[in-house]
Amino acid sequence: MTVMQKRPWEGMQGYTEVNSAQLPMIDDETPTFMGVPLAHDQQQLKCADVAIIGAPYVAGAAGKYAGVDKTEWVLAPRRVRQQSARYPTGYLQEFDFDVLQELNVVDMGDALIPSDANENPNAENILIAQAAVELMVNKALDSGAIPVVIGQNSPCGSYAIAKPIAERSNGSVGMISTDTHWDSRPIDHLTNDKRIAGSGNWKSKTYRDHANFSVSNLVEIGERGMLEHADIVRWYRTRGAHFYPMWQIRGHLGIEGLCRELKHAYKNTEDIYVHFDMDVLGGAGPAPGDILGELAEPMGMSDYEIIRLAHEIGLRGLTGMSFICIPPGSMVIYRTIVYIITFLLAGLVISRQ
């Protein structure tokens, strides 16, 4: 493990603590998440409660994804960790305790995703990238830790987490998913390969290939507008999925009501997979929705709503979590991911107390 001076990364030049304190580093530009220990092997993972994993993978051919340069998207795991360095401790004023003193959190670094997976994303390269993430997720689960994967695209930031959870579970698996899209097309539209759980079809592949993922234990949050074919949405709803579009959340349900509805994911399930597709923020903030390029949609979730949702999930418990579509190029969005994780941790602490 390399230990280096904290770097004055973007937006933190005035933070004396960032410039002077020592940080464990994953590489020359990437600190561990909030300065937690770096863990590469099972011994270092021993007794870990939560393991942070990076999955720097972006779908599509070289150039742009959703109208934004791929080099911006793929840096999300690094940028989130860099922005986490501005917080000298895990102390949360809101709850008057330090989550990093109450929980054993480690950072496993990034999955070894080959550059070919991003530069030449054919089916074989994508499967290699997916396997690299699965390997790290399985190591975390072997140690009894909750894997939290900071990714950008499917399958590396979704199916690669859902699959190991399903394969290990002794019962039904519930899913809590926030998204703008249902990601439930019949086949990956980039490769047309049935083996690939891509950006547009990872959820349908999850339910197709893993029978213990129960549709009746799906809590789907945030989709809106005219983006989906009726048959896709109705397929889930007629099979018992619990769907909460932003129109309903903004209307009579509210964030308090939405949190109560999380119960459906936990009913008669052994494990819970949590998936936060951050294009759910849309144009609601904290940054302009346009930084998402073609993925931006009106009537998105707010930063408070998604952070509060994560906290409520922590209170109830989870098996694993992942992020994709982290809006690129915004310091405050990267910090939002840090808040989501720390407030999730706070929920875990409170539930144990």
Whole-number pLDDT of residue 164: 98
The label of the residue with tokens 């939290």 reads 148
For 84-141, strand residue ranges (E) read: 91-92, 97-98, 105-110
Q: What is the pLDDT of residue 11?
A: 66
pLDDT at residue 67 greater than cutoff 90 = no
**Span 216-264, pLDDT tens digits:** 999 999 999 999 999 999 999 999 999 999 999 999 999 999 999 999 9
**Confidence grade of residue 68 (pLDDT, cut at 50, 70, 90):** confident
| Among 314, 335, 351, CA closest to 146 | 314
pLDDT at 19: 44
> Edge-to-edge strand order for the sheet containing 50-55?
105-110, 50-55, 146-151, 320-324, 271-277, 173-178, 213-221, 242-244
Distance between terminal CA atoms of the chain? 33
Q: How many CB atoms lie within 10 A of CB 22?
A: 10
Confidence of residue 21 (pLDDT cuts 50, 70, 90): low
Q: Is pTM beyond 0.85 here?
A: yes
Amino acid in the structure at residue 113: I
- pLDDT greater than 90 at residue 40: no
Domain range annotation of the chain: 2-352
Q: How far is CA 166 from CA 111, 159, 247, 262, in A?
A: 20, 10, 31, 19
Tokens 């998913």 label which residue? 177
Closest CA to 42 of 190, 189, 134, 143: 143
Whole-angstrom Cα distance, residue 99 to residue 352?
Answer: 12
Whole-number percent of the chain with pLDDT over 70: 94
Q: Give the Cα-Cα-Cα angle 194, 197, 199 (nearest 5 degrees).
A: 125
Query: 298, 334 in Cβ contact below 8 A?
Result: no
Give residue 4's pLDDT: 41
Residue pair 305/287 in contact (Cβ under 8 Å)? The answer is: no
Confidence of residue 8 (pLDDT cuts 50, 70, 90): low
Q: Band the pLDDT of 3: cuts 50, 70, 90.
A: very low
Q: What is the pLDDT of residue 292?
A: 87
Residues 303-318: pLDDT tens digits?
Answer: 999 999 999 999 999 9
Q: How far apart are CA 57 and CA 76, in angstroms?
A: 9
CATH code of the domain occupying 2-352: 3.40.800.10
> Span 191-206, mean pLDDT?
97
At 114, list the tokens: 């080959």
Within the chain, strands assigned E span: 2-5, 22-27, 30-31, 50-55, 64-65, 68-69, 91-92, 97-98, 105-110, 146-151, 173-178, 213-221, 242-244, 271-277, 320-324
> In sequence order, what are the beta bridge partners of 30?
27
Q: Is the pLDDT of residue 137 over 60?
A: yes
What average pLDDT does the chain have? Answer: 92
